Amino acid sequence: MDYEKLGLKMGLEIHQQLNSQHKLFCPCKTELVDDDYAELIQRRLRPTQSELGEIDRAALQESLRGLNFKYENFETHTCLVENDDEPPHSLNEEALDICITIACLMNMHIVDEFHTMRKQVIDGSNTGGFQRTGMVATDGYLDTPYGRVVIESLGLEEDAARRVETKDGFTEFRLDRLGIPLAEITTDPSMHDPKQVREVAYMLGQILRSTNVKRGLGTIRQDLNISIAKGARVEIKGVQDLDLMSEIVEREVQRQLVLIEIKEELEKRNAEVLEEIHTLDEIFKDTESKILKSAQTIKAVVLKGFNGLIGREVQPGRRFGTEIASYAKKRGVSGIFHSDELPAYGITQEEVDKVAEFLKIDENDAFIIVAHDEDIAVSALEEVKRRANLGLEGVVEETRKALDDGNTEYMRPLPTANRMYLETDIPLFKIKPERIEPIANNLPELPDAKQERIIKEYKLSEDLATQLVKRQEADTFEAILLDVDVDATPVASLLAYDLREIKREGHDINILNLNHLKDIFKLLSAGKIAKDSVRKLTIETIKTPDKDMGEIAEQNNLTMMSEEDVAKIISDIVAQNESMVKERQMGAMGPLMGMCMKELKGKADGGLVNKLVREEIQKLL
Amino acid sequence: MTYKEIARKYIENNNLSIGDTIKVHKEDISYTGILLDRPEDADDGYIVLKLSSGYNIGIAIDNTKAELIEKGDKPQIGYGESEIPHDPSKQNISVVSTGGTVSSVIDYRTGAVHPKFTASDLVKANPELLDYANYNVKALYNILSENMKPEYWVKAAKEVANDISDGADGVVIAHGTDTMHYTSAALSFMLKTPVPIILTGAQRSSDRPSSDANINLIDSVIAAKSDIAEVCVCMHGSLNDEFTYLHKGTKVRKMHTSRRDTFRSINAQPIAKIQNSEIKINSNYNYSKRGENSLEVNCDIEEKVGFIKSFPGISEEYIEYHIDKGYKGIVIEGTGLGHVPNNLINTFKRATDENIPIIMTSQCLYGRVNMNVYSTGREIIDTGVISGLDMTPETTYVKLCWALGQSENINEVKEIMQSNIVGEISEKSSIKDFLN
């Protein structure tokens, strides 16, 4: 596809959880919980009125679904703030500082004063009915191999509650995630090439990872804004896999192109969505279709001039009918039947003919059937009519969800920009130059640069360096080496590999502090312990963290012997095996080394043992 | 405009007004947005812009230049009045607002929240109210709950009495929650009522989608239509948006700074539970029925009443001061069963000698004052201190204001304080009356 000719424009919006100790507006930890909840509370949300009694478009849409909410609370992991039963505490300055770091790395301008806003969201994912959010910085940029990309804004906001399930008219949320600080980064919509979007997403990920942010599944969420000249802006939520980015773009462009074709065709045919909702209960009273049989009522609408177009594929495996169905589903039906796909699902040709006759439609027209109880069927068909009418306009501005195969699915209308007002419970927060300067002067190295540098500086293998950076242990590594004159490799390998294994064996590695690690490597550096003992000594330190390191090594038999004692043991072993030495001469080296190392492992350096064994053998020859 | 000196001058010198779209140039960046007003308590030297994204930011105006992009329209606040339908088959409920807001309108352009007070505002914000009754709405005064004064109780009592004589079938009073239980106690003593008088409020302001105002208001209307002709408080019964409790106006207290279910019956149980538009009355309750009493207003009160909490180390000066300053009565919130350190006992004696009644209540809130158990208590009784029995300290305070309005004679005041006028005193302490 010739994206340039199509006028493709893309922008990215990235949400990254920050790794602060506490949530943005309360002292709860920023951790998700797998435990059973302690209590469930039930809530309702109502859209509030804005000026002239107009309720926001997206907010209204959500409220029409008429859902009630349940929230899972925890005794220690959540508090009354998440419940919306206590006003927010003051802004988490640690989270703000992380954002300032990110802003500096992206060449942004930090605002003089941070104002916390309430952004109305009444899908239940925020107990208050709004998300708290504020603008930290604007107008930055990133230079990419495809040219400069403008970073429009950096926001600091609360993450939403985790949706658990929807049943019996209630949507249940878990409150553990609500309030975890999120950085929201928005680029301008000026990217024209899917490869550039992927590159920018990667670069932003690298920048974020060099700061104190959360790692792992679900901690970073990428949304894609996309439009083509004749189409409309669509926001695609939750693009997890960067490699899928190009596929998603291609399929979205394709979808918009087909929707434009459908619109042009509908115009030619003078197509029209008829208002009336018909009841088909009589026609289907003896139907074999299981779905229709079990429904309270069967209703239909007529789409004049739509025949053949509802079945038109807009994305691989998704038809225009799927687009219409996804609107209807928001009102509680599990799907729709449209005339382009019938007869099917147990509905016979005879029944289709009867419906066509009853609805008085001709071969250019289409119909859509919904089966459910009265209220839901009518409400779903209202949405069907609305979506079909929007089809006459071409592409609709929507928020869509990224699916695993690169397709997208309708979620909700695009939010209008104006649903924000000041959070009066939180004082305005000045960001003075005195706060920014020390942060700007101590910016973290980006991961790639850091990896390259430590390979060079410490002569580490690429593999060790990669692991250190990936596991965020590079700083600890450097702090140890700053103080202790010791070979870098054992330090790196403890941090990059052994610590993980030790943790897996069930030891709490959080007990270890930097001083413990320094003390361990000071013993190694002084020749008091062998390289092989580092791992064992680490485990023993976890068991008795308050003891002196030398004492721990001593008590666990990990200290090296004096050269004199080593020589004595070796000379004894060689003497006991005199006959073998006489017989095999230097060939006895191997077996003798084995015997000595068995005795001396962890108490003497292998090189020293080797040297002494050799000398003892030579003495006998 | 609440901008202070520096920012005000800056705005005036640049010929700008709130609502204008402006561009502010700083050394290396410029911002375009709508100029907004600034919270009154915020520092000078900054202006507030609403960016096109909807975010507000504060800009330090030092070394900046401002440029007018477009003059703003004067914000049109709220919507026009519209006729509320009157259904003769429905009861007439009078809604009195005393502060706080019955509904709010958010102006998203500027982010301002405008409190609304009229009946049509109320119905627009809560259209389901029309299913229940006809409404007559008025804003009596607009003060913060914490600024409530005894004189406002009188004003409210008179207003409510007028509504009732004008034919209201029930009254709902929208009130800030901080001092709602004082007002409910005051109205309980001041009014004998043939119809329900229900106080309600919200712990989460009505400008947010999660506000408890809507449910509290609707359930209050249901209570106001009921058979319970008493002064009551109707508020959330749990953390859920599920049901409300109707508490007796003299036996209720705000017990939590922020939870929705902050109001609790103290030394009593709620009169009724309202859930899904149904009111379930506690069968143990002996309440005044609709029409049983005819309307009587008795608003005479004495405002010069002291209210002192005892604490370890409290000095007798606290009491002396009140006596010296001419207070007509003092409520003490004592410890435990009704005790104070014995250095206060002589001042109590002085007060009684000077005809100033002292009423003893307990910081425990739950339970009954009984000064016979310990020797300090017996000494306190000997000075003439009157027991507040099982009344909350707040109800005792309100009742003493009212009792002193009825009589200046200390013996008569004692008589009033210890008689059960409107159910404020219960003789029996039920096992179920604690922490419910």
- SS3 for A27-39 is CCECCCCCCCCCE
Kindly state whether residue A195 falls inside one of the protein's structural domains: yes
Element (H, E) at A434: helix A433-440
pLDDT surpassing 80 at residue A52: no
Quote the pLDDT of residue B109.
65
Q: Is residue A208 part of a domain?
A: yes
Domain endpoint, select from A555, A575, A590: A555
Residue A244 covered by a domain:
yes
pLDDT the model gives residue B80: 58
Q: How confident is the model at residue B200 (pLDDT cuts 50, 70, 90)?
A: very high
Of B43, B51, B125, the CB nearest to A49: B125
pLDDT score of A49 more than 70: no
Task: Pick the residue of B57, B110, B121 with the most A CBs within 10 A to test the interface with A by mutation.
Answer: B57
B213-222 pLDDT, tens digit per residue, is 989 999 999 9
Answer yes or no: B432 catalytic.
no
Check A428 against B39: CB less than 8 A apart: yes
Residue A53 has pLDDT above 50, yes or no: no
Residues A221 and A281 in one domain: no
Phi (first) and psi of residue B59, to 5 degrees: -120, 125
pLDDT at site A448: 82
Contacts of A519 (CB under 8 A, 6+ apart): A549
pLDDT tens-digit readout, A60-107: 555 555 668 999 999 989 999 999 999 999 999 999 999 999 999 999
Q: Where are the domains of chain B?
A: 5-70, 92-297, 305-417
- Tell me whether residue A494 is in a domain: yes
Q: How confident is the model at residue A36 (pLDDT cuts 50, 70, 90)?
A: very high
DSSP code of residue B123 = H
For residue B248, report the phi and psi dihedrals to the nearest 5 degrees: -65, 135
Lookup: tokens for A318 = 């998704």
State both tokens at B428.
Answer: 């029996």
What pLDDT sits at residue A243?
83
- Residue B111's pLDDT is 65
Q: A515 vs A417, which has greater pLDDT?
A: A515
Q: What is the pLDDT of residues A342-394, one digit of tens each?
A: 899 999 999 999 999 999 999 899 999 999 998 889 989 999 999 999 999 99
Mean pLDDT of A265-275: 94
Residue A452 and residue A351 in one domain: no
Decide if pLDDT at B79 tops 60. no
Given the residues B20, B98, B101, B169, select the one marked as catalytic.
B101
- Of A474, A475, A479, the closest CA to residue A464 belongs to A474
- Out of A130-144, A536-550, A603-617, B352-366, pick the least confident: A603-617
Which candidate from A42, A52, A111 shows the least CB-CB separation from B79? A52
Q: Are A258 and A266 in contact (CB under 8 A)?
A: no
Domain match, A277 and A229 both: no
pLDDT of residue B77: 52
CA separation for the pair B334, B142 (Å, rounded): 34
Do A236 and A213 belong to one domain?
yes
Task: Compute the count of residue pairs across chains A and B with CB atoms less than 8 Å apart.
Answer: 151
Q: How do residues A278-320 score in pLDDT, each as one tens digit?
A: 999 999 999 999 889 889 999 999 999 999 999 999 999 999 9
Q: Using a CB-CB distance cutoff of 8 angstroms, which residues of chain B are in contact with residue A140?
A: none
| Distance separating alpha carbons of residues A146 and A191, to the nearest angstrom | 9
- pLDDT at res. B78: 53
Q: Which of A467-471, B283-287, B387-391 is the most confident on average?
A: B387-391
Among B55, B59, B210, whose Cβ lies nearest the Cβ of A128? B210
3-class DSSP assignment, residue B306: strand
User: Is residue A249 included in any domain, yes or no?
Assistant: yes
Give the residue from chain A lying closest to B31, CA to CA.
Answer: A138
Q: Do A43 and A172 reside in the same domain of the chain?
A: yes
Per the structure, the count of domains in chain A is 4
Mean local confidence (pLDDT), B289-303: 97
Same domain, A229 and A161: yes
- Which H or E run includes A609? helix A606-620
Mean predicted confidence (pLDDT) in A584-603: 85
pLDDT at position A51 over 80: no
Q: Residue A327: what pLDDT? A: 93
Helices and strands per DSSP (H, E), number in chain A: 22, 25
Q: Do A424 and B215 count as a contact with CB atoms less than 8 A apart? A: no
What is the Cα–Cα distance from A5 to B82, expressed in whole angstroms?
53
Least confident of A109-113, A162-166, B404-408: A162-166
Average pLDDT in chain B: 92
In this structure, is residue A399 part of a structural domain? no
Tens-place pLDDT, residues A474-503? 889 999 999 999 999 999 999 999 999 999
Tell if the CB–CB gap between A109 and B58 is shorter than 8 Å. Answer: no
- A119 and A55 within one domain: yes
pLDDT of residue B106: 66
- Amino acid code (one letter) for A389: N
Q: Which architecture does CATH list for B92-297?
A: 3-Layer(aba) Sandwich (3.40)
Q: Is residue A216 situated within a structural domain?
A: yes
* Secondary structure element (H or E) that encloses residue B418, with its range: helix B410-418
- At residue A54 the predicted structure's pLDDT band, cuts being 50, 70 and 90, is very low
Asked if the structure places residue A292 within a domain, the reply is yes
A238 sits in the region (left: phi over 0; alpha: psi -120 to 50; else beta) called left
- How many angstroms separate the CA atoms of A439 and A432, rounded? 12
Residue B39's pLDDT band (boundaries 50, 70, 90)? confident
Position A563 scores a pLDDT of 83
Angle at A348 between CA A347 and CA A350, to 5 degrees: 135
* Token output for A424: 């009066």
Q: Which fold has domain B305-417?
A: Rossmann fold (3.40.50)
Q: How far is A48 from chain B (nearest CA, A)?
A: 6
* pLDDT, averaged across chain A: 90
User: Do B59 and A128 lie within an 8 Å CB cutoff?
Assistant: no
Range of the domain at A353: 272-391
CA distance B60 to chain A (A): 6
The CATH number for A599's domain is 1.10.10
Domain check: are A480 and A572 in the same one? no
pLDDT in tens, B313-346: 999 999 999 999 999 999 999 999 999 999 999 9
Indicate whether B209 pLDDT > 90.
no
Bridge partners, B70 (sequence order) = B21
Domains B92-297 and B305-417 agree in fold: yes
Sign of CA dihedral A510, A183, B19, B59: positive
What is the CATH number that goes with domain B5-70? 2.30.30.520
Q: Are B48 and B102 in contact (CB under 8 A)?
A: no
Dihedral of CA atoms B386, B390, B395, B400 in degrees, nearest 10, equals -20
**Does residue A468 share a domain with residue A601?**
no
Q: Is residue B82 scored above 80 in pLDDT? A: no
Block residue for tokens 């302001």: B205
Tell me the average pLDDT across A177-195. Answer: 94
Asked if A420 lies within 8 A of B111 by C-beta distance, the reply is yes
- B166 CB-near residues (< 8 Å, 6+ apart): B94
- For A618: left if phi > 0, alpha if psi spans -120 to 50, otherwise beta; the answer is alpha
Please say if the pLDDT value at position A418 is more than 70. Answer: no
Across the range A222-243, mean pLDDT stands at 90
Instruction: Write down the residue that tokens 């209308």 correspond to.
Output: A413
Say if the Cβ atoms of B210 and A84 lie within 8 Å. Answer: yes
Q: In chain A, what are the helix, strand and coil shares in percent, each to the nearest 5?
A: 40, 20, 35
Nearby residues of A133 by Cβ (< 8 Å), 6 or more positions away = A116, A117, A119, A155, A156, A157, A158, A184, A420, B55
Of A51, A114, A135, the CB nearest to B107: A51
Last residue of a domain, one of A250, A265, A280: A265
Question: Is the CB of residue B258 less than 8 Å from the CB of residue B430?
Answer: no
Give whole-number Cα distances, A134 to A17, A155, B25, B29, in Å: 15, 5, 21, 19
Nearest to A205 by CA among A222, A189, A223, A181: A222
The DSSP result for A165-184, as a single string, is EEETTEEEEETTSTT-EEEE
